[in-house]
Amino acid sequence: MKTKKERLKGYLKRKEVLAGFLVLFLIFGFYSVKLMSTHSYSMNRETVGTYTQEGKLLHTAILKDNALYGTTMRSKYYPAPLVEGFLLTYAYRFAPMTSVEGTYDVVGIVTYAVNRGDKEVVLWKEKLFEEKGKLKDGKFTVEYKMNLSDLNRKDQQISDQLGIKRLRRSITITANVKAKGEAYGKAVSETFTHTISLVRDSTAGLYYFDDPEKITRKSVTTTSTQKNSVKMLGIQTDVETAKKVVPLLALIFLIPLMGGAYTIKSTMPHDDFKRIRPYIVEGVPRKVDRKVIMSSRADLEKAFELVDKPILHYIDGEEDVYAIIDDSVAYEYRELVKNTGEDDINIDVDEEPEENS
C-alpha cells in the first residue's frame, strides 16, 4: 500500500495537475505585476465654493466752465483742458462677506521724474492722501477729492526750484488689504493689492485711469481619500488587500509546480549517454572486417570525438551494442540490456574477429 508521500508524488507528477498549477500561477502572477502600478488610494478634490476680492475706483471729473458737458462728467476718457479735478471713490469688498475681518490702507502719491536714457530717475515724491482702517462686513469705501489745478501750479513751482523744464508727473493710487476669516467652512487668509494710475495722454489731450478695477477669485476645495478597488476573476476587492493576497496566492501555486517539476526530474531514468545521445541512431552495421571492443563509455565517447561519425545502436542477445564504423572497422561498446520501454533493434550478427581496447 502506497504511503501518503508516495501518493502525493504521484499526484504532482500528473501533467494535468501541473498544467492547472501553471495556469493559476500565471494568472495570479499577471495580476501581481499589474497591481504593482495600481495605487491603493485615490485623492478626490471637490470645489465647495468660490470667494472673490474686488476693488474698484469710481471717478467723476470736475470741469471748468464750458458749454458742452456742464460742471461734472463721468466717462472713461476726459478732455484734459477742461478738467479741474476728480471726485474719487474707491470701494473694496470680500464676497461672501460672512466671518471676514481685516485692515486696509489706501494711499495716493504724486511722483516727479525725468528720463535718463531708458531709465526713470525720480526727483520728488509726495503723498496726496492716505486712509487706513478696518474692514466692516468684509468691505470699505474711501473718498477723495483731487484738485488738478492746485497740482498744476505745484508742478510749476517744483520745476522752477529744480531748474528742470521737462518734469514728468505721475499720480498713483494704491490699495493694500489684509483679510482673514472663514469661507465655506474653511479658514482663509488673503492679501489684496490694487494700483491705479492717472494717465494724461498729451497727444490725444485726454485724462484716463489705468486699471481702475481688479477682481481676484479663489476656490475652496475639500480633499478626501478613497480606497481603490479591483475586480479579479469575478471577485471585487480593494487594491491594498489584493496587493497582499494575490502575490501570496501566486507563490502558493508556484511551490507545488516547482515540487512537481523536481519530482518528475528526480524520477526520470539517468541517461549515461546524455552527452552523445543526439548522435546515436538505431541501426545494424553492415558486414565489417574487424571489431575493436571498448571497455567503457568514456572510450566510446573518445572514439566518437576522433572518428566523428554516427553511433549505431542495436541489441545483440542480452547486450546493448553501440558501434562506430570507420573503414570496415567497428568500434564497439557493449553492456547488458536495460529495459527502457523503447523499441530497440534486436538482431543476431555474425561473429567477426575482435580486438580488445
pLDDT in tens, 223-256: 888 888 888 878 888 888 888 888 888 888 787 7
Task: Using the predicted structure, report yes or no on whether residue 4 has a pLDDT greater than 80.
Answer: no
State the average pLDDT over residues 14-20. Answer: 74
Least confident of 123-127, 131-135, 351-355: 351-355
Supply the pLDDT for residue 5: 57
Least confident of 122-136, 206-220, 275-289: 275-289
From the CB of residue 79, how many other CB atoms can be counted at a distance below 10 Å?
A: 18
pLDDT one-digit tens code per residue, 39-71: 888 888 888 889 999 999 999 999 999 999 999
**Predicted confidence band of residue 89 (pLDDT cuts 50, 70, 90):** very high
Most confident option among 7-11, 76-80, 147-151, 284-288: 76-80
Least confident of 79-83, 250-254, 337-341: 337-341
Supply the pLDDT for residue 3: 64
pLDDT one-digit tens code per residue, 318-330: 888 999 888 888 8
Supply the pLDDT for residue 265: 65
**Predicted confidence band of residue 109 (pLDDT cuts 50, 70, 90):** very high
pLDDT one-digit tens code per residue, 171-222: 999 999 999 988 888 889 999 999 999 999 989 999 999 999 999 999 988 8
Q: What is the dihedral of CA 253, 256, 258, 259, to 10 degrees?
A: 170
Task: Using the predicted structure, report yes or no on whether residue 342 has a pLDDT greater than 50.
Answer: no
Tell whether the torsion through CA atoms of 275, 323, 326 and 285 is positive or negative. Answer: negative
State the average pLDDT over residues 123-136. Answer: 93
Task: Using the predicted structure, report yes or no on whether residue 81 has a pLDDT greater than 80.
Answer: yes
Supply the pLDDT for residue 91: 97
Task: Using the predicted structure, report yes or no on whether residue 341 has a pLDDT greater than 50.
Answer: no
pTM attached to this predicted model: 0.58
Task: Using the predicted structure, report yes or no on whether residue 345 has a pLDDT greater than 60.
Answer: no
Reduce the secondary structure of the chain to three states and give it as a string.
Answer: CCCHHHHHHHHHCCHHHHHHHHHHHHHHHHHHHHHHCCCCEEEEEEEEEEEEEEEEEEEEEEECCCCCCCCEECCCCEEHHHEEEEEEEEEEEEECCCCEEEEEEEEEEEEEEEEECCEEEEEEEEEEEEEEEECECCEEEEEEEEEHHHHHHHHHHHHHHHCCCCCEEEEEEEEEEEEEEEECCEEEEEEEEEEEEEEEECCCCEEEEECCEEEEEEEEEEEEEEECEEEECCEEEEHHHHHHHHHHHHHHHHHHHHHHHHHHHHHCCCCCCCCCHHHEEECCCCCCCEEEEECCHHHHHHHHHHHCCCEEEEEECCEEEEEEEECCEEEEEEEECCCCCCCCCECCCCCCCEEEC
The phi and psi torsions of 310 (rounded to 5 degrees) equal -60, 155
Cβ neighbours for 9, distance < 8 A, ≥ 6 positions apart: 263, 267
